[in-house]
Amino acid sequence: MKLKQKLAIGYVRARLHILTLVSPRQAAKKAFSLFCTPRRKPGKKRSPLFDKGEELSFHLEGHSVRGHRWLPHQASSDTLKKVLIAHGFESSSRNFEQYVNAFLKRGYEVLAFDAPAHGRSGGGRITLPLYVDMIRAIYDRYGPIHSLMGHSLGGLALSLFLESIAHDRSTRLVLISPPVEMVSAVDMFFQMLELDNDVRTAFDEYAYHLSGRPFSWFSLRRALHGIKAEVLWLHDEDDDITPLADTLPVKKDGHPNVRFIITKGLGHRKIYRDGDVIRQVAAFV
């Protein structure tokens, strides 16, 4: 972790500790807002590919959601299978140019959107229910969608969406470094900020009030029991954001429709940029 990041975390930690003394509930609300607010901006320069795609947009819960659609050369959208790309937290669709090109070469119509608070979309924060609602809106407007590919948070959101709709084994789902349990993600967040149990209790209660579900429900392991699609799951041994250790219990569950590929040395973000990973994903969808 860079010194600037350490100083920023130390400052936030100190402010939350002071607020905890006044009101654990107010500290929990502030912590929840921080948990849902992306701070890292995509550094990749926008590719000319995004000037060639059709710009799409719609409004969702007061936010403008922006994305693109690409068609293979001289193809009609009425006859094409579609692929939807979902990016991770603090990322954007612009990071998936290589996948867009790979899918177009295989004759797919490609859809990619920026989630609220990311890329060119509006809003200041993202929650998992909001991400799922965005995917549902895309599916309703531009579907049906044959294949879905998501990195990190995008993969979990796609899974929660897919379990809620009718589908079969002809559907393809690609998961790259997805978080398995939101409870684990919150645990890591609280360990980083060194917040106490009173704040955690208030945090969980506040999140439940907003979504109507406990954090334990936002579980990829749970959702897979309702997913009939063929699934390709790629994860790296050196992932420090969504650790492989969280994935291994799902692997042991032995779902016949889920194929795992474990890589080494790519971490959480390099894995989706890896050429061999891109080729395997393109071949699978």
Q: What is the pLDDT of residues 255-270, one digit of tens each?
A: 999 999 999 999 999 9
Task: Taking residues 136-165, report their average pLDDT.
Answer: 97
Sort strands 109-113 and 172-176 into parallel, antiparallel or unpaired. unpaired
**Residue 7: what pLDDT?**
53
Gap between the Cα atoms of 48 and 280, Å rounded: 25
Mean pLDDT estimate for the chain: 94
**203-247, pLDDT tens digit by residue?**
999 999 999 999 999 999 999 999 999 999 999 999 999 999 999
Give the three-class secondary structure for 29.
helix
Report the alpha-carbon distance of residue 106 to residue 6 in Å, rounded: 44
166 within 8 A of 144, measured Cβ to Cβ? no
Q: Can you list the alpha helix ranges (DSSP code H) found in 123-165? A: 128-142, 153-162
**Identity of the residue numbered 234:** L
Structural domains in the chain plus CATH codes: 1-35+183-214 (no CATH), 49-181+218-284 (3.40.50.1820)
Residues 125 and 29: their CA atoms lie apart, in Å, by 13
> Cα–Cα distance between 144 and 83 in angstroms, integer?
10
Q: Whole-model pTM? A: 0.94
Question: 3: pLDDT confidence band, cut at 50, 70 and 90?
Answer: very low
Tokens in use for 66? 């922006």
